Amino acid sequence: MEPFDLTIHEARTLLDSRQLSAAELTEAVLGRIAAVEPQVGAFVTVTEDIAREAAAAADSSMAGGVTTPLTGIPMQIKDVMSTRGIRTTCSSRILENFVPLYNATVVERLYERGPVLMGKGNMDEFAMGSSTENSAFHVTHNPWDLDRVPGGSSGGSAAAVAAGEAFFSLGSDTGGSIRQPAALCGITGLKPTYGLVSRFGLVAFASSLDQIGPLTKDVEDCATVLNAIAGHDPRDSTSIPGGRPDYTAALTGDIRGMRLGIPREYFGDGIDPAVDAAVHQAIGVLRDAGAVVEECSLPLTSYALAVYYIIAPSECSTNLARYDGVKYGYSVDDASTAWETQERTRSSGFGAEVKRRIMLGTYALSAGYYDAYYLKALKVRTLIRREFEDAFQRFDALVTPTTPTPAFRIGEKTDDPVSMYKSDVLTIPVNIAGIPCISVPCGFSEGLPIGMQVMGPALGEEAILRIAHAYQKATDLHTRRPEGLG
């Protein structure tokens, strides 16, 4: 096995036993990036010099007996989180040359643990998309089939981990943007409870839905990264107060007696038969491991997509109003008035999908339509949240497919926004309810990965990690890597 194919915990063993140095591991990953990045396109920025400096510091730290589970581990950060001294573009022309003066809280917490930053991940512009085709810079390709999308909006993050260009990445999940690309790229992705991980320094898309989480090669790595980034942050008013458990301690492998609900609405029309079969086979593995499995119903699920595409664009319209060509970022320099500057800056700085969502949100918030659209969506959101709460009175977790289909071809849905939006139909309800959810690989269809997601109640990360880990203990799908790259 090549060093870049290792998991975090496998690399940790080699680093701690001095069989491998952080510098050697970093050079192996930099070599991998050089070999496959022209095909995959997972990065906006590769921080080669910073990576070598961090690796040297990690080796020095380990030589002095100071180490953490992440010391010397190569990582990537989605380019929607602020990194001091490193440009943060959101894959948008309007922030193409923006270099923050501060780090996001999650970046600070990771830096304290000594990993090695390889660079910033490509994404759909401002996290608006399901395929990473909306980046202003380039399309990211799925490492399993370069003619297909990696998912989005954290497509660069998922592709980098799957291709061995980073051991883990941080993504953001507003309507499935961690779990959907994790599923399409055959890796593990966790969307935590809303407020568990600080959003300070995350460039906002939809503030009541956005959440940062890890993309990793397996569940054990996922729990390790979550340990590093979770916890209260006084700089984020939505951050949940209180301490956090050791999530790796939840990985007991024992799920005997745990109650799993299988919502029938997630297996209806539009679900690829191969996806349906793979997820049901995975459910059988969980049953064999001792879980109690029962079908259930979440009838309000069918409204979640409509609710999302009112709430998210409305919050996007408000958040993106700050890009006016005056404060920071791109600005036209030959306009005659401030209003013309603003209009022309936004017209040329934002891409088509961002403009579409701004217009949708502005319309939904406008006089005469606010009550009919936005206010009604908030009321239905409350009902969806209550429906999940009721379900978790009966079940420890819910198990569903992550995506309706495996990865689709690049360009297949770009002219049909509604079809593209439906790619997230199974992931969006979790964001509406603010609950945690993890996606793990559970099968393949014609060489393309299929994902299963496990949903839990608010702050139920330990339960879903335990279930997902038990599944991976009983299978080897998460150990498979794409071939033919480089």
Q: Which residues are catalytic?
A: 78, 153, 177
Strand 188-191 to 168-172 pairing: unpaired
Cβ(200)–Cβ(236) below 8 Å: yes
Helix (H, G, I), strand (E, B) or coil at 368: coil
Q: Do the Cβ atoms of 453 and 402 come closer than 8 Å? A: yes
Closest to 316 measured CA to CA, from 204, 232, 468, 201: 204
Quick one: 322 exposed, middle or buried, by C-beta within 10 A (0-12, 13-18, 19+)?
A: exposed
Q: Where are the alpha helices (DSSP H) in 118-218?
A: 155-163, 179-185
How would DSSP label each residue in 189-240? Answer: EEEPPTTTB--TTBPPSSTTT--EEEEESSHHHHHHHHHHHBS--TT-TTPP
Dihedral of CA 246/249/253/255: which sign? Answer: negative
How many Cα atoms sit within 13 Å of 280 on the Cβ side? 11
Task: Give residue for tokens 């603003």.
Answer: 342
Token pair for 396: 């420890």
By the 8 A CB rule, do 193 and 58 touch?
A: no
Residue 359 vs residues 355, 365, 371: alpha-carbon distances, Å: 6, 10, 17
- In the structure encoding, which two tokens stand for residue 208, read together? 């009541």
Q: Identify which of 451, 433, 453, 442 has the alpha carbon closest to the alpha carbon of residue 392.
A: 433
